[in-house]
Amino acid sequence: MSVLDYIVMLLFAGIVIVAGLSFGKTGKTMKSYFAAGGAVPWQISGLSLFMSFFSAGTFVVWGSIAYQYGLVAVVIQLTMCIGGVLVGKFIAPAWQKSHALTAAEFVSRRLGISVQKFYSYLILFISMMYTGAFLYPVAKIVNVSTGFPVEFCVIILGLLIILYTVVGGLWGAMITDVIQFIVLTAAVIIVVPLAFDRIGGVRELFIQAPPNYFLPVTPEYSWLFLLAFGIYNGIFIGGNWAYVQRYTSVESPKSARKVGYLFAALYFFSPFIWMLPPMIYKIVNSNLVGLEAEGAYLLMCKEVLPKGLIGLMLGGMVFATASSVNATLNLAAAVFTNDLYKVIRSSSKPKQLMFVAKTAVVVFGLLTIGVALLVPSAGGIVEVVITVGAVTGCSLYGPPIWALFSKYHSGRSILYCTLLGLGINVYLKLLHPIVTGFSFDRAEEMLAGAITPFVLLGGYEIWAKSKKEVSPSYLDYKMKQKEQIGSLSDESEDEEDTEAQNQYGLKVLSKTMALTAGIFVVLALVADKGTWVTLMVGLVIGLASYSIYRNLKK
């Protein structure tokens, strides 16, 4: 990387961090800090959901698979589009109708305090696994581009993420997500044509690609795996407690539905574009083996991008992937403060709760750094993400989603289904190979993890329905929900604060987009290739920034 790349990367990092820190004075209450006031524009929430999910694996996990196997990486990600449609149609509106600040708050009201505590502790633990797995790709990207040790990158980046997450709250996280989406979408528009030029055109990709590179499945990632992964994605997108905040932070079920649909639409188109750079790099250099393939995406960018744009792309990759970390840190702090600490210390004042919330972000962030440092010893990021998802995803997030729609399940039945599902999946993953000498392949492992909890939940639902006994906890929940909805009509002051926070958020977005547009225009003027496409990208971002500014004035 050149000096200009480092300057641009640091400049973009400064813009993102300042944007996140600028929300330090807006999150004065639990609702504004953890739910962004409860009336975030659905477009902002949808883009934030996309970036929080997309960035976790696109560059390293799916980029590695695209480099090794080709089109299969695109097909795997299309299952996320299907999951988004189902979430938008059914799950997201149901979460918004619950009027809960967090998923844990819904579990507490619907299933009881004891069940909520169990889920909270378990999800806090699993969240540390996920955030560690998400932080590692950020460090890997910086390691590949700069040569700094991965461990050093994990620690420094982890501390930066903690800084702007603890200050900015959910609004800060979502605005930085949108900026990263804009930068990375713009950058890939520049990367793809330059990458094709590098190998001599689109036709050369098809001619020089390895055999079976454009098949939709492989022995390792089979149709059975895609079925299982599709089920898992629908549950993970709809039930992950960090993502639930994207549905509860909008103003209506209709807006929550649009959040899911926007996510699905983006995942319908983006895999075909985003997976091209690592696939093309297979033609440029086919010698990456093992964990080296995790760096294929950035290596392609370094191969073709002009000076300055490499730094901007790297900065976008780093903070986009980091958005998964800050989303989960925000969730972990929300669960700990709102659903554990507040229950024990119910007399706590708002200022005390905010202090506890921000302290929790720091503590969970430090734990995340520790987990990320252990990822290489666990076999690499691909193995960690898929294995943790197969064992825990549907068993952990499926039962609360089921409780959103069921009037027969009780807290005890949901708890037993969760424990039994996790137990079966852990046995199949860890103990079954030792006991029998036979282990499932990746597809069978994923399918077992996806189906097991729903067989248990469905079995109990049928049995309870045959007895025609509605769960007392469901009746109590519906009664309390009516009382809560009645009290919401008096929150006019909160509505004014929310509107002011939304206006401020859009103002910050407009300014940061203008600065980003300026960076693209300047880089276009000094670029030795890709000048016109870079300039056009900068002008489009600038026009979009001006459009937001004009609407705010009106």
**436 vs 222: CA distance, rounded Å:** 24
Residues 548, 549, 550, CA angle at the centre, nearest 5°?
95
Tokens 């739910």 locate to 35
Lowest mean pLDDT among 34-38, 64-68, 105-109: 34-38
Lowest mean pLDDT among 173-182, 280-289, 423-432, 480-489: 480-489
* Residue 539: domain span: 3-481+501-552
Handedness of CA 92, 95, 100, 102 (dihedral sign): negative
Q: Decide if 495 is inside a domain.
A: no
Model pLDDT, residue 415:
92
Highest average pLDDT, of 35-44, 336-345, 362-371, comes from 362-371
**3 vs 398: CA distance, rounded Å:** 49
What's the average model confidence in pLDDT over 278-306? 86
Q: Decide if 116 is inside a domain.
A: yes
Question: Over 60: is that where the pLDDT of 544 sits?
Answer: yes
Highest average pLDDT, of 184-198, 348-362, 374-388, comes from 184-198
Q: Decide if 241 is inside a domain.
A: yes
Q: Give the residue from 33, 46, 27, 453 showing the smallest Cα distance to 235.
A: 453
Model pLDDT, residue 10:
86
Residue count of the chain: 554
CB neighbours of residue 210 within 10 Å:
12
Residue 179 CB contacts under 8 Å (≥ 6 apart), including other chains? 15, 16, 19, 319, 509, 512, 513, 516
Q: Decide if 476 is inside a domain.
A: yes
Half-sphere exposure of residue 352: CA atoms within 13 angstroms, side-chain side: 7
Mean pLDDT value across the chain:
81
Model pLDDT, residue 387:
65
Write down the number of H helices and E strands in the chain.
Answer: 25, 0
* Residue 71 main-chain phi, psi, to 5 deg: -60, -25
* 3-class DSSP state of 467: coil
Q: Decide if 123 is inside a domain.
A: yes
Burial of 185 (0-12, 13-18, 19+ CB in 10 A): middle
Model pLDDT, residue 275:
92
Residue 32 falls in which region: left (phi positive, over 0), alpha (psi -120 to 50) or beta: alpha
Question: Over 60: is that where the pLDDT of 96 sits?
Answer: yes
What's the average model confidence in pLDDT over 57-86? 88
Model pLDDT, residue 438:
79
Q: Decide if 331 is inside a domain.
A: yes
**421 vs 415: CA distance, rounded Å:** 10
CATH of the domain at 214: 1.20.1730.10
Half-sphere exposure of residue 123: CA atoms within 13 angstroms, side-chain side: 34
Q: Give the residue from 273, 9, 52 showing the smallest Cα distance to 177.
A: 52
**449 vs 446: CA distance, rounded Å:** 5
pLDDT band per the 50, 70, 90 thresholds, residue 407? very high
Handedness of CA 514, 516, 519, 520 (dihedral sign): negative
User: Which residue has better confidence, 354 or 459?
Assistant: 459
Lowest mean pLDDT among 27-31, 73-77, 124-128: 27-31
User: Which residue has better confidence, 321 or 466?
Assistant: 466
Q: What is the pLDDT of residues 358-401, one digit of tens each?
A: 788 888 888 888 877 877 665 555 555 566 666 777 888 899 99
What's the average model confidence in pLDDT over 203-232? 90
Q: Give the residue from 324, 348, 322 showing the smallest Cα distance to 337.
A: 348
User: Which residue has better confidence, 33 or 303?
Assistant: 303
SS3 content of the chain, % helix, strand, coil (to 5): 85, 0, 15
Q: Do 180 and 51 meet the contact criterion of CB atoms below 8 Å apart?
A: yes
Model pLDDT, residue 518:
93
Q: Decide if 361 is inside a domain.
A: yes
**183 vs 534: CA distance, rounded Å:** 11
Task: Convert 437-472 to b/e letters by CB count within 10 Å (16 or more is b).
Answer: eeebebbbbbbbbbebbbebbeebbeebeeeeeebe
Model pLDDT, residue 367:
83
pLDDT band per the 50, 70, 90 thresholds, residue 285? very high
- What DSSP element (H or E) covers 47? helix 42-54
Task: Convert 391-426 to b/e letters by CB count within 10 Å (16 or more is b).
Answer: bbbbbbbbbbbbbbebbbbbbebbbebbeebbebbe
Token pair belonging to 340: 């554990």
Lowest mean pLDDT among 43-52, 221-230, 254-263, 369-378: 369-378
Residue 468 CB contacts under 8 Å (≥ 6 apart), including other chains? none
Q: What is the pLDDT of residues 507-522, one digit of tens each?
A: 888 998 999 999 999 9
Number of domains in the chain: 1
Model pTM?
0.81
Q: Do 249 and 35 meet the contact criterion of CB atoms below 8 Å apart?
A: yes
Q: Would you give the end-to-end CA distance of the chain in angstroms?
A: 44
Q: Above pLDDT 90, what percent of the chain?
A: 25
Model pLDDT, residue 493:
47
The 3-class SS string of 472-485 reads HHHHHHHHHHHHHH
The 3-class SS string of 514-542 reads HHHHHHHHHHHHHCCCCHHHHHHHHHHHH
Question: Over 90: is that where the pLDDT of 290 sits?
Answer: no
